[in-house]
Amino acid sequence: MFTPKYPPQDTAPAPTTSAPNVYSPTSYAPTPAPVPSRPAVQLTAGSTLALAAGGGALVLVVGTVLVSMLLAVAITAASVAVCAVTVRSILKSDRR
C-alpha cells in the first residue's frame, strides 16, 4: 500500500540528430511588422462624453449598493444589541 508505484518506461523513439545550425545573414533579417487587420478605435467627443457618463453612473450605482449593504449590517447589529439587552434584563429580573 505504501510502496511507490513507478510509471512504465517511456517508449518514445529516440530523437534523430540533424545538421548543426549554420549562420546565414538571411536567417536573421528583420521581419516587417504585421499590419493590423482592423483600424484602431477612434473616440469622438460624443462617444467620450457617453463613456464618461456611463462610468459615472456605474460608480453611483455601485456606491449606492455598498452603502445600502453597510446600512443593513448596522441596523441588524443594533437590533441584535437591543434584543440582547432585553433578554438580559428579563433573565436578570427572573432571578430575583
Highest mean pLDDT among 13-22, 55-64, 84-93: 55-64
Percent of the chain at pLDDT > 70 equals 81
Q: Classify residue 9 by its DSSP letter.
A: P
**Unique residue bearing C-alpha cell 536567417:** 27
CB 38 within 8 A of CB 46: no
* Amino acid identity for residue 38 in this structure: R
pLDDT band at 23 (very low <50, low <70, confident <90, very high): low
CB 51 within 8 A of CB 43: yes
| Domain residue extents for the chain | 68-96
pLDDT band at 20 (very low <50, low <70, confident <90, very high): low
Q: Report the distance separating Cα 58 and Cα 51, nearest Å.
A: 11
End-to-end distance of the chain based on CA atoms, in angstroms?
Answer: 66
Give the pLDDT confidence score for residue 35 in this predicted structure. 72
Give the pLDDT confidence score for residue 96 in this predicted structure. 64
SS (H, E, C) 8-43: CCCCCCCCCCCCCCCCCHHHHCCCCCCCCCCCCCCC
Q: Is residue 1 helix, strand or coil?
A: coil
pLDDT band at 52 (very low <50, low <70, confident <90, very high): very high
Q: What tens digit of pLDDT does each residue of 27-47 get?
A: 566 677 777 677 777 888 899
